[in-house]
Amino acid sequence: MGRWEPDAAGRLREAALDLFVEQGYDDTTVADIAERAGLTARTFFRHFANKREVLFAGSEQLEAEMVAAMDATPADAAPMQAVAAALQASAAVLDQRRSFARRRQEVVAANPELRERELLKLASLGAALRDGLRRRGVAEPAASLAGEAAIVVFRVAFGRWVDGSAERDLAAVMTECMDELAGLSAVTSRPRRDAAAGSRAPG
């Protein structure tokens, strides 16, 4: 195939994911991926540094779009409102690739090296959101707490989205998880002294 083959990167991603699912990540080589895509190994390395990066390509762009969405929120928005905007931006990107995301998650979950890489990417994303909040004037520890909370919501919502049988939009699942997080601070039990008083035996 010529070096100007249209959408070579997309074909390589799909070929790699198919092979990772079919025969396992460790047993798949760059040559296998290139052959399945109808391209050469040389073409592969023009787009990806190694086979692992096939699964993580685009993470920088996702991070940039999330930070941009957060930066675009009103200056007086609360920190969690700002990170909610970032999460909705991620949903807008990922909702278009649900099938790919599901298969990718299957591959990552089955490989310790890939799980570690995923955690590093999420840590980088959390740091980017924290730094974005700091630029907005959010002090510590609020900036770090909000950034880390956003990553927790992202992970839980993403897991529900890829594992769920219902074809729900990721944006809706993100909102649901944000609401659940906010609800955790609500008082759901009687004051302790009332409970203690109720436990005393009469007379």
How far is C-alpha 165 from the geometric centre of its chain's CA atoms? 19
Span 141-165, pLDDT tens digits:
999 999 999 999 999 999 999 987 6
| Element of type H or E holding 36 | helix 30-37
Average pLDDT, the chain: 89
Structural domain boundaries of the chain?
Answer: 8-54, 59-183
Cβ-contact 144, 130 below 8 angstroms: yes
83: burial class by Cβ within 10 Å (0-12, 13-18, 19+)? buried
CATH superfamily of 8-54: Homeodomain-like (1.10.10.60)
Cβ-contact 43, 3 below 8 angstroms: yes
CATH architecture of 59-183: Orthogonal Bundle (1.10)
13: pLDDT strictly greater than 50: yes
Structure-block tokens of residue 101: 């995301």
Lowest mean pLDDT across 18-22, 98-102, 195-199 = 195-199
Closest of 62, 46, 131 to residue 94, by C-alpha: 62
Residue that has been written with the tokens 């035996």 in this structure: 201
Span 61-110, pLDDT tens digits:
999 999 999 999 999 999 999 999 999 999 999 988 888 899 999 999 99
Q: How many CB atoms lie within 10 A of CB 121?
A: 16
Maximum C-alpha span of the chain: 92
